[in-house]
Amino acid sequence: MQRFRFRLQRVLDLWEKQADAEQLRLQSLHAERAALEEQQQQLGRQRRDAEQQVVQCPSVTAAELMSLESFRRFAAQQRRQIAARQAQCAVLIERQLAVVMEARRRTRLLEKFRENQQAEWKREFDRELEQLAAESYLSGVIRRRIQSP
């Protein structure tokens, strides 16, 4: 009997590669979200540092206060932009997660089909092997009967 061959193996391989590619896209989105969070934190640290510098100065000029206020407005604007990008990224992550889960589900379905086919092939192989063994045994018995008077 021939060895087991799954006719849809190339399809399964392709689907596995697609699932891996979708997983990489999801990881990329997670990395982007983490980078946005880091930007948000860094902006907060810069704002606190600027405020600390002004507070620690013995004398503060009007220009320094205006500069600080200008930086605060800039930081607030940047925080809003980062928050918008974070929200957009969260939506993209949710969508991509659904794509990844569907790709994995499809792949698992085909793997299960392959396992079922392989189990059927093994049952058929065992049946043929048992039949061959029985035929071999019977031919030996018949040969011994013919040879012995």
HEC sequence for 103-128: HHHHHHHHHHHHHHHHHHHHHHHHHH
**Burial tier of 2 (Cβ tally within 10 Å: 0-12, 13-18, 19+):** exposed
> What residue has token string 């928050």?
83
Give the Cα separation of 17 and 15 in Å (integer). 5
pLDDT for the residue numbered 2: 86
Contact 100, 2 (CB under 8 A): no
Is residue 57 assigned to a domain?
A: yes
Q: What amino acid occupies position 148?
A: S
Is residue 143 assigned to a domain?
A: no
pLDDT for the residue numbered 119: 97
pLDDT tens sequence for the chain (149 residues): 789 999 999 999 999 999 999 999 999 999 999 999 999 999 999 999 998 988 888 888 888 889 989 999 999 999 999 999 999 999 999 999 999 999 999 999 999 999 999 999 999 999 999 999 999 999 988 888 888 76
Give the Cα separation of 129 and 139 in Å (integer). 15
Is residue 125 assigned to a domain?
A: no
* Total number of domains in the chain: 1
Give the Cα separation of 78 and 82 in Å (integer). 6
Is residue 137 assigned to a domain?
A: no
pLDDT for the residue numbered 56: 87
pLDDT for the residue numbered 147: 85
Is residue 114 assigned to a domain?
A: no
CA angle 37, 42, 43 (to 5 degrees): 100
Domain of residue 63: give its range: 9-106
